[in-house]
Structure 1
Amino acid sequence: MPTTLPPKVLEAARRVEALLEEAKARGVVRAWSLRHLSGEPLPGVEGIAFYGREVPQEEIDRLEEAFLDLEDDLDLGVAVILVPHD
């Protein structure tokens, strides 16, 4: 039987997707995937994103900060692994 995810997890997934799509449009992220959405006992969103080694660290820091803000705003976990890639 499939489990229903809490609305805040679905909202987090939508917002993480929007952040990653925006970063991709700016050339910060090359590719990304959300791999896991969880409900209980630890609600959250998990994924991976690849960025070019030429991307300034400030851009990566900005994206990480946006994920932390989202965690605080929705009170759940956001774990997107940012991986440098050629």
Structure 2
Amino acid sequence: MKALKIAALLSILATGTAFAQSNPAPAATPDNSATTVAMSNAPQQVGTWVPPTGQAVAPKTRAEVYGELVQAEKDGQLAYLNSTVYAHP
């Protein structure tokens, strides 16, 4: 039984390190003006999500989110979601 626990622990450690990944150093790229134009002016952070459009999305303020919530309540979007998606049978 003790050997089984040790074997399980070793297999967990072996597979855990097999999937570990470090951020590779960025490769040196030639200075292409076409590449520079296509990129946004926002500084790129390694490991961050980029939307499919390639443009950085600015975070919303609490006031903007609250305004969207009020608008969704007024135009019926929130009631529709509550009656369809969030309805509990």
TM-score over 0.5 for the pair: no
TM-score between the two structures when normalised by the length of structure 1: 0.24
Q: Which has the higher contact order (CA 8 A, sep 6+)?
A: 1
| Bigger helix share | 2
Which has the higher Rg, Structure 1 or Structure 2?
Answer: 2
| Bigger strand share | 1
